[in-house]
Amino acid sequence: MSTAATPPRPRIALTLGDPAGIGPELIAKLLSRPANTASADIVLLSDAAELKSAGEDAGTPVAYATEPADGVPLLHDRSAHRPAEPFEPRKATAAGGSWALGNLRTALDLAKRGEVDAILFAPLNKTSLHLAGMAANDELRWFEEVLEFTGFTSELNVLPGLWTARVTSHVSIAEVDAGITHENVVRAGRLLHRVLRDSGLTAPRLGVCALNPHAGENGRFGRHELDIIGPAISDLVGEGIDAKGPFPSDTIFLRAKAGDFDGVLTMYHDQGQIAMKLLGFDGGVTIAGGLPIPICTPAHGTAFEIAGRGIAHTGSIQNAFDLAVRMAGSGAPAVMP
């Protein structure tokens, strides 16, 4: 009698983020847990010098191999790509940004060749990335360029039981208005609905934020809700999506916390991020939503002020790793427990 074949282990490319921040320490702590290295084949994009420093900061050495080994991270040693100048700790630099981008580009190349199933990167610093020459506003737009992807994307933020997506993201407040279009609201709503469906929810419930105070007060404080957001919600409902709103952004997350919604669609960055970080700063995960490969990262930043002190909290990086493993294994996002 034949038995079912054991499914292949997910293959995860792992980068340590900005070398001046807490990313290397977080990855060292992540890899020190046997359950993590047992759950996936890890392709570690770093070099011996960075891993040694990371282990010292974390208080635990990083075990790695230069040849494939079951349950042990595989080191793709990038010593040849290390900048000539040393990385300055706790500071945004072009050298740090170049190193982080180089490792991410290698991860994306591995993904394009089908050699990894998902990517997890430790926190980046946008100033470092821009000093290193990244012209895109954020890493999501840069991922699109490197992958030559032209579909709709949105940064997704995840807490246990609640996902958010954005209509606009890393743009100035002055530019938000131009990005609130009927098409953008519909596309962002579809993306949020799709990833929630893919995660196992058969009938996701979406709440949609208003842009203006009091949801525009029937046009008194702006007409976005009447002319753009409301009609876009009607179109989403017409497609069979359970979407409600627009609701004032100062109350919608109270309803979400009470369990009224599985996902919240926000109009701009801080509208959702302030709420999500208050609800779960130490456990939040960011996903580059819409891309052809799962890409996850902690929702927090590089925390230069505590880098090298060995006190960085691992809640978000662990959740991001767990989510990347589940997404890689199923081909779709999974709901966090």
So what's the pLDDT on residue 330?
65
Question: What values do phi and psi take at 248, rounded to 5?
Answer: -55, 140
In terms of CATH, what superfamily is 8-149+291-337? Isopropylmalate Dehydrogenase (3.40.718.10)
The sign of the torsion formed by the CA atoms of 111, 117, 123, 126 equals: positive
CA distance 36 to 17: 19
Tell me the two tokens of residue 138: 């954020």
**Per-residue pLDDT reduced to its tens digit, 230-288:** 999 999 999 999 999 999 999 999 999 999 999 999 999 999 999 999 998 889 999 99
- DSSP annotation of 160 reads T
> What is this structure's pTM?
0.90
Beta-carbon neighbour count of residue 299 at 10 Å? 24
> What's the whole-number average pLDDT of the chain?
93
**Per-residue pLDDT reduced to its tens digit, 190-228:** 999 998 988 788 999 999 999 999 999 999 999 999 999
**Per-residue pLDDT reduced to its tens digit, 133-191:** 999 999 999 999 999 999 999 999 999 999 999 999 999 999 999 999 999 999 999 99
| Residue among 82, 55, 53, 51 nearest 65 (CA) | 51
So what's the pLDDT on residue 303?
97
CA distance 195 to 333: 6
So what's the pLDDT on residue 323?
92
Is the CATH number of domain 154-282 3.40.50.2300? no
**Per-residue pLDDT reduced to its tens digit, 63-112:** 998 876 766 888 888 888 888 777 999 999 999 999 999 999 999 999 99
User: Is 209:245 a contact under the CB 8 Å cutoff?
Assistant: yes
For CATH 3.40.718.10, the residue range(s) in the chain are 8-149+291-337, 154-282
